[in-house]
Structure 1
Amino acid sequence: MTTRLEQVWHEIDPDRLKKNLIDMIDIYSPSGKEEDIQLFLEEQLRATGTDVRRQVVDEEERFNLITTMGSDSPDLYLVGHVDTVPAWDIDEYAAVEEWGVIRGLGSADMKGGCAAMVEAWTALATLPEDQRPSLGLLLVVGEEENGDGSARFLEECCPRSVIIGEPTALLPAFDHYGYMEVTLITQGRRIHSSLPELGHNAIESMLRVLLQIERSTAFRQQATKLVYSIREMSSSRAGFVVPDRCEAMIDLHLSPDLSPVTVRTIIEKTLEQARSSIKGLDLEVVFNFEAGGYQLAPEDNTINILEEIYPRLNLPLNLVPFRSHSDGNLFFQAGSKPLILGPGSLETAHTADEQTSFAEVEDAARIYAALALG
């Protein structure tokens, strides 16, 4: 592998990689509006001489891109999602480069990973056809919403292994947190706001419920395994009145050894206690989504490659769990073995200060190429 790897690494072009990453960030591609960036990436991939297939997800304008190389059906796919969350400021989402850091919407989550995968693919495609690894590249839509791009791919194909370029600061994650999304709805009684004693304030009820959840013994017992975050809260808006409806959305990230069934039971018991202790509470709970985490035993070949490559790139090799939700949950449920590994970090993802080190993006391309050849 060493000779081929050195040849492929020589073909990795930092200037081309940086230009492609900046161009990708400059293309606004929130979930549901990914066509422009897919057209851009399709052109990049076709320039390598490999066949590229569009896989329609739900309409002609929304499609995954799939390309393969090698003589056999690939056991390994590089997987990246091209969509982002909506821009915080539609005038300020574009790429800005400063002191080796590239900022902009999607720079970490995960256009940095996608750009590195495309660059690794481009370099691998320079090998003679009989020396190319059996490898697939999948660029999907919709990860930031409901994972419909990956779900569509998995209807047709479930590779043995995938590498997903979510931001991990290049620390390999073979373990993955689970995720649950829960909606709470409280109902009250609307009345003029100068007479609150005659109504029932749905916001006050919701605040009491949320406080009870946070203080519950069960949640404290699972504190090291359960990440609890109130994502959204909204109420009815009807002028100068006591609100009669409040809705809160809760994100729960579960350590790999904590099942959604266990957490659901904890929540249901906690809410039953709230119903009995909060006067006049009218509460509805909806479990919108849940996906269990996983723990993978790293294959010896993969670990051996990482142990060889990371010192050459002057990178620390520490295995960490991935604490967020990703398409890795879907691939694992389908029977694949997902490794989460990419440039950038979750600390800035989905924020107005999203960024990634370009050195990490370049190193990611080299790591992906090494794992593909391995």
Structure 2
Amino acid sequence: MAVLSDILSNINDERLTQLLIDAVDQYSPSYAEEPAMAIFADRLAAGGIAFQRQPVAERQDGSSHGNLVVSLGPGPAELLWVGHVDTVGYSDEEQDTRLEGDILYGLGSADMKGACAAAVEAVVATVESGVELQRGLSVALVVGEEEYGDGAQTLREHLDAPLTVVGEPTGLAPCLDHYGYYECRLSARGTQAHAALPEFGASAIHDMLAWMMEILDVAGGADTPRGMVVNPREISGGAGGFVVADSCEALLDVHVPPVSGPDEIEDLIDQARTRAQATNRATALQYERLFWAPGFSGQHDSDLLPPLRAAFDARGLAWQPAVFRSHSDASYFQRRGALTMVCGPGRLEVAHTRNEHVELSEVREAARLYAAMIFEACIRNPAH
């Protein structure tokens, strides 16, 4: 009878570390993921593991082969593991990938090439062990998560499973609850005037700032009862020259608790606009919803949880469910009758920063935890 140690004994930490370093070395922002995807594809091919490339319909330029999907065992899949290989863009011409002791620095190390490398190593170790899967396993490396999730949406059209694990950075905490994400464009239209005589015009920039401050005040932040997190991502306006600006636009990101919806956010924006216009009536303030991804509250007593809890127990890790406070591809896979969990190495607070890093010891543990999930969900006899 197969035991978990049969798989764990085949995990190669040196191979895992090199895979991660090679992947982080490849600059792979959204729509340019192929260099990093090729690193993972080569590792799978070297292990004799078949995979498919899944084209993403919205991408017609031929620069990307889309998602990479590994399917093992009898279908349909019981467990689906999902990770993205794209990163945010970087303003510097060169990446600074460096290893200092147990810490690997570099764009994408935490978000989320560390998890992708760990999952690939878990798959390679499972195949090398010769253990036969009793239920199906799918592992998908997707594109486009840092934009609007076109890779995950394509994957979801063709594949799902009762259990889905998304490897976003959580410090290996199991996150069953997930924030929602809202994005909108604010616009202000004022009246141009000579800069020396602003009282004869209406500054769109001034009134946009007033509106923005009201939004931030009403939202309150993560530690308030409302729990909304507002990020003014971009603001632009003005016509140049020595004039009062008659136009201004801003992009706003809003992360909200699992039970919140877009109507609640837009009520907040409306309230803030009313307050801003109480003293700035000469400017027209409008907004447009650009994107909404719902959050979800996990089923903490779900019948689907035992394999995941057993994997944590097998690795001696505490089962302390947490909330994932960002947007991720997980929102595409959560549905009635299924369970989606976010769990991966690294910390969200260092992702998207110049100091992004991940502890290699945590990546190594992630590979073993993912292997335990594979064993519990796809190999172990349910009677045990």
Counterpart in 2 of 1:65? 68
Residue 172 of structure 2 is aligned to residue 170 of structure 1: yes
Q: Is the 8 A contact 1:233 1:247 kept in 2?
A: yes
Of 334-343 and 33-42, more deviation after overlay is shown by 334-343
Tell me how far apart the structure 2 counterparts of residues 10 and 219 of structure 1 sit (CA, whole Å).
Answer: 46
Change in 2 beyond 3 A, CA 1:222/1:304: closer
Residue 43 of structure 2 is aligned to residue 40 of structure 1: no
Match of 1:151 among 138, 150, 153: 153
- The count of corresponding residues between Structure 1 and Structure 2 is 369
Measured against aligned partners, the alpha-carbon deviations of 1:305-348 in whole angstroms (never above 9, x if no partner) come to 1441342xxx4432110000000111115975221000111111
Tell me how far apart the structure 2 counterparts of residues 357 and 257 of structure 1 sit (CA, whole Å).
Answer: 33
Of 63-72 and 340-349, more deviation after overlay is shown by 63-72
Counterpart in 2 of 1:108? 110
Counterpart in 1 of 2:379? none
Q: Is the 8 A contact 1:260 1:291 kept in 2?
A: no
Counterpart in 2 of 1:77? 80
Tell me how far apart the structure 2 counterparts of residues 232 and 334 of structure 1 sit (CA, whole Å).
Answer: 36
Q: Is the 8 A contact 2:220 2:226 kept in 1?
A: no
TM-score where L is the length of structure 2: 0.90
Residue 373 of structure 2 is aligned to residue 371 of structure 1: yes
Change in 2 beyond 3 A, CA 1:158/1:68: same
Counterpart in 2 of 1:339? 341
Tell me how far apart the structure 2 counterparts of residues 300 and 113 of structure 1 sit (CA, whole Å).
Answer: 21
Q: Is the 8 A contact 2:203 2:283 kept in 1?
A: no
Tell me how far apart the structure 2 counterparts of residues 236 and 330 of structure 1 sit (CA, whole Å).
Answer: 38
1:192 partner SS: coil
Q: Is the 8 A contact 1:177 1:255 kept in 2?
A: yes
Question: Which residue type is aligned with residue 7 of structure 1?
Answer: D
Counterpart in 2 of 1:304? 309
Tell me how far apart the structure 2 counterparts of residues 225 and 143 of structure 1 sit (CA, whole Å).
Answer: 24
1:242 partner SS: coil
Q: Is the 8 A contact 2:179 2:255 kept in 1?
A: yes
Q: Is the 8 A contact 1:158 1:334 kept in 2?
A: no
Question: Which residue type is aligned with residue 242 of structure 2?
Answer: F
Question: Which residue type is aligned with residue 304 of structure 1?
Answer: R
Measured against aligned partners, the alpha-carbon deviations of 1:143-185 in whole angstroms (never above 9, x if no partner) come to 0001000001112222222111100011110110111112211
Q: Equivalent pairs: percent with the same residue?
A: 36
Q: 1:1-374 residue pairs with structure 2 within 5 A?
A: 4-57=3-56, 58-59=59-60, 60-62=62-64, 63-91=66-94, 93-128=95-130, 130-131=132-133, 134-216=136-218, 223-298=225-300, 299-311=304-316, 315-332=317-334, 336-374=338-376
- Stretches of structure 2 that go unaligned for 5 or more consecutive residues are 377-384
Tell me how far apart the structure 2 counterparts of residues 194 and 52 of structure 1 sit (CA, whole Å).
Answer: 66
1:170 partner SS: coil
Change in 2 beyond 3 A, CA 1:303/1:223: same
Root-mean-square deviation (Å):
2.2
Q: Runs in 1 of length 4+ with deviation above 6 angstroms?
A: 217-221
Change in 2 beyond 3 A, CA 1:218/1:170: closer
Question: Which residue type is aligned with residue 87 of structure 1?
Answer: Y
- Stretches of structure 1 that go unaligned for 5 or more consecutive residues are none
Tell me how far apart the structure 2 counterparts of residues 237 and 25 of structure 1 sit (CA, whole Å).
Answer: 41
Change in 2 beyond 3 A, CA 1:133/1:362: farther
